[in-house]
């Protein structure tokens, strides 16, 4: 590979990263509310709680940096303030978003 070619690729990658970062895109690149769908079943107290290595807990821990963004969305905010959500948080050992955490 010649130097100008490598330099050009590096500049494109850097520019893309800068664009994503400046537009707040780094969070949105990996935030996916649909990854929390496996947790919905555990909102029912009749269902056995999730194990810490369940798809639900793995996904919710992966999405934990995104939870405030989800919480701020009026469409999802009320879902976080339910006994089922508290139960999942307790068993998966995560902190649910709230006004004190997410501001």
pTM for the whole thing?
0.68
Q: Which pLDDT score is estimated for 5?
A: 43
Question: For residue 22, is pLDDT > 50?
Answer: no
Mention every residue, 6+ apart, whose C-beta is less than 8 A from residue 92. Answer: 39, 50, 52, 56, 57, 60, 61
Structure tokens at 12: 């494109």
Question: For residue 16, is pLDDT > 80?
Answer: no
CATH superfamily of 31-102: Plant lipid-transfer and hydrophobic proteins (1.10.110.10)
Q: Which pLDDT score is estimated for 39?
A: 94
């Amino acid at each position: 590979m010649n130097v100008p070619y490598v330099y050009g690729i590096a500049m494109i990658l850097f520019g893309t990263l800068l664009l994503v970062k400046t537009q707040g895109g780094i969070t949105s690149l990996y935030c996916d509310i649909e990854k929390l769908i496996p947790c919905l079943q555990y909102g029912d107290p009749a269902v056995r709680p999730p194990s810490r290595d369940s798809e639900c807990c793995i996904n919710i821990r992966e999405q934990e940096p995104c939870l405030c963004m989800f919480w701020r969305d009026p469409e999802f905010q009320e879902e976080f303030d339910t006994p089922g959500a508290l139960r999942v948080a307790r068993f998966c050992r995560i902190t649910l978003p709230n006004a004190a955490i997410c501001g």
